[in-house]
Amino acid sequence: MKEIKIKSFDNKELHTYIWDEVKNPVGVIHLVHGSAEHTLRYINFVEFLNKNNYIVIGSDHRGHGKTANLEENELGFFAKEDGWNIIIKDLHIINNFIKSTYKDLKVVIVGHSMGSFMVRNYISNYGDSVDGAIIVGTALYSSLVLNFGLGVAKKNQKKYGEKNVDKLIWKLSYKPLNAKFKKHGKTGVEWLSTDENVVKNFLDDPLAGQVFTSSAFKDLFFGLNQIQKQDYIDRIPKDLPIFIISGDKDSVGKFGKDPRKLQKIYKKNGLNSKLRLYLNMRHEILNEVGKEKVYRDINEFLESVLNYKSEYIDISKEENENENEKKIT
């Protein structure tokens, strides 16, 4: 693994990870992590991709991981204004780096959770710059809810400042995600995964679990509103292969309801998308018990996009496949 700093359009340095020690690379995966976490939480997934001849590149978003300047209280903070559009532009800067460095390889962008929202926006703005997109653990929200949240965030930012750690909005938006999992533990984040080690590592990670600032919540609600607008959906290339995947026990996606709805919206608009849900998996399906099934399906999608047949697929831990997987196309 290599770690470099890539300057964005405004000279902000994005801490970027490159896993390119692949003998015969067939494509590049642009990995986009979620909120309140960072790229290094995806090591198992990265190792799988490398073994299947894919180079992987991902950067920590502004306000996240090693991109955040802790001395400037940047953890959980994007920008004073227009933060959402700024982090989408950051993705394009990383894409430009990928395209200039690996000129002969196709690029597939993969985003989890907030990263899935970013990818949905990215393929509206820059869909022609990638050859495929994987949307992991996504969700949809009513404009009423988003506008309410946006109003509260703006009010709190004006009153307390853009770097105000907004525990009120966090309680309203994140805390309810664990409501149906309280009997499974006492950490408050059982909704993430059934794997207790994943939950423990998340809680022990000093660069994970941060509460967003008022301005970041404002940016997030703005972005969620934006990606659900019809004109943004209309701008997604009709021939771009899109793979929507989620756990059917993922409270973020309302237990499969939202991914199904997004698939219907995309199909109605003539997009080249498909959906797959996984039984008994919670939010982080890339870090879940039985994640090998998810990895296998991702690999099959990548093979179809890149016109490549891999020689190695790690399904050594896979058991009872038919009982633990739900397929929807």
Residues 231-265 pLDDT 10s: 999 999 999 999 999 999 999 999 999 999 999 99
For position 314, what pLDDT does the model report?
59
Report if residue 167 sits inside a domain: no
The CATH number of whichever domain residue 300 belongs to comes to 3.40.50.1820
Identify whether 163 is part of a domain.
no
Helix (H) or strand (E) holding 108: strand 106-112
The mean pLDDT value of the chain amounts to: 95
Residue 81 lies in a domain: yes
Average pLDDT on 189-199 reads 98
Q: Compute the average pLDDT of residues 172-180.
A: 97
pLDDT score of 199 more than 90: yes
The confidence score (pLDDT) of residue 245 equals 99
Q: 88 lies in a domain?
A: yes
pLDDT digit string (tens) for 36-71? Answer: 999 999 999 999 999 999 999 999 999 999 999 999
Q: Which domain, by its residues, includes 264?
A: 2-141+227-326
Domain count, the chain: 1
26 occurs within a structural domain: yes
For position 298, what pLDDT does the model report?
98
| Residue 162, domain member (yes or no) | no
Return the number of other C-beta atoms located less than 10 Å from residue 62's C-beta. Answer: 22
Residue 76 placed within a domain:
yes
Query: Per residue in 272-294, pLDDT tens?
Result: 999 999 999 999 999 999 999 99
Residue-level pLDDT at 308: 87
| Confidence bin at 329 (pLDDT 50/70/90) | very low
DSSP state, residue 192:
S
| pLDDT tier for residue 327 given thresholds of 50, 70 and 90 | low
Q: Which residues pair with 174 in a beta bridge?
A: none
pLDDT of residue 311: 72
Query: Does position 315 have pLDDT exceeding 70, yes or no?
Result: no
Report pLDDT for 312: 56
pLDDT at 243: 99
Answer whether residue 48 is part of any domain.
yes
